[in-house]
């Protein structure tokens, strides 16, 4: 009797999306900083131009952090739009494949018992002790909750607030502006989501370094077993 092939830690669609998404997020963030430099203030509502009405005044980001590497609002917008297409369709395809191959139900959905404070506290303590073992499941509660929030809340918010900021969408989806309470509100939410993703990526990279970066990166390239 032949033994079944060992199951890989990460399926091919997950690995492809992981690296595509990482590249897109870096490109979107850097081109977004270039766009921010054109008007480094944030507002709530439909309109915002006056410094006195801004709820946040941003710094001017250096050229080495932006795409392109010099000030050009037009080029930054073109890069942002170009990278947004593979980002949006990659996310949509990943969601569909995750439903079809049961990755979503099997690995990302949290169970009611996992929301008990005792279980959450145990996960937090294990992380603080740098104990990343979670026998019998692919991800622990903290991982599932954070991945779920990023994939199904933050990333879609980035896409829809980005669409709401585009005047070209006013005739097609005018209800987007109503959902986000105006174009300037959508811009502020877009900014907050972007920096929340940066914080998530920073924590993600730290945990990868602490849990064995060579093995983690190898598994995300080859699939692991």
pLDDT at 110: 82
What is the mean predicted confidence (pLDDT) over 68-89? Answer: 93
The answer to whether residues 188 and 196 touch, using CB atoms and an 8 Å cutoff, is: no
Report the mean per-residue pLDDT for the chain.
85
Query: Could you read off the pLDDT of 97-120 as tens digits, one per residue?
Result: 888 888 788 878 888 888 888 888
How many Å apart are CA 212 and CA 225, to the nearest integer? 16
Distances (CA, A) of 139 to 1, 50, 162, 172, 216: 31, 47, 31, 40, 14
Query: Could you read off the pLDDT of 16-60 as tens digits, one per residue?
Result: 888 899 999 999 999 999 999 999 999 998 887 888 888 999 999
4 pLDDT band, cuts 50/70/90, is very low
Beta strands in the chain (DSSP E): 41-42, 56-57
3-state secondary structure (DSSP) of residue 3? coil
pLDDT of 182 above 80: yes
Using DSSP bridges, classify how beta strands 41-42 and 56-57 pair: parallel, antiparallel or unpaired. antiparallel
pTM of the predicted model, to two decimals? 0.85
What is the mean predicted confidence (pLDDT) over 85-97? Answer: 91
How many Å apart are CA 173 and CA 170, to the nearest integer? 6
């Amino acid at each position: 009797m032949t033994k079944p092939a060992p199951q890989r830690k990460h399926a091919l669609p997950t690995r492809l999306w992981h690296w595509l998404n990482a590249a897109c997020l870096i490109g979107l963030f850097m081109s977004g900083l270039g766009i921010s430099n054109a008007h480094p203030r944030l507002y709530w509502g439909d309109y915002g131009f006056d410094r006195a009405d801004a709820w946040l005044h941003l710094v001017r980001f250096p050229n080495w952090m932006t795409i392109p590497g010099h000030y050009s609002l037009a080029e930054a917008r073109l890069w942002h739009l170009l990278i947004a297409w593979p980002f949006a369709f990659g996310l949509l395809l990943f969601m569909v494949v995750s439903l079809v191959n049961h990755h979503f139900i099997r690995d990302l959905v949290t169970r009611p018992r996992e929301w008990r404070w005792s279980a959450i506290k145990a996960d937090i303590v294990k992380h603080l002790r740098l104990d990343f073992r979670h026998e019998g499941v692919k991800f622990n509660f903290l991982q599932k909750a954070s991945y779920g929030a990023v994939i199904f809340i933050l990333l879609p918010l980035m896409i829809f607030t980005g669409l709401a900021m585009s005047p070209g969408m006013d005739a097609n989806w005018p209800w987007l502006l109503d959902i986000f309470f105006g174009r300037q509100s959508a811009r502020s939410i877009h900014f907050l989501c972007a920096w929340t993703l940066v914080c998530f990526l920073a924590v993600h990279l730290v945990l990868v370094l602490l849990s064995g970066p060579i093995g983690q990166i190898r598994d995300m390239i080859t699939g692991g077993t």
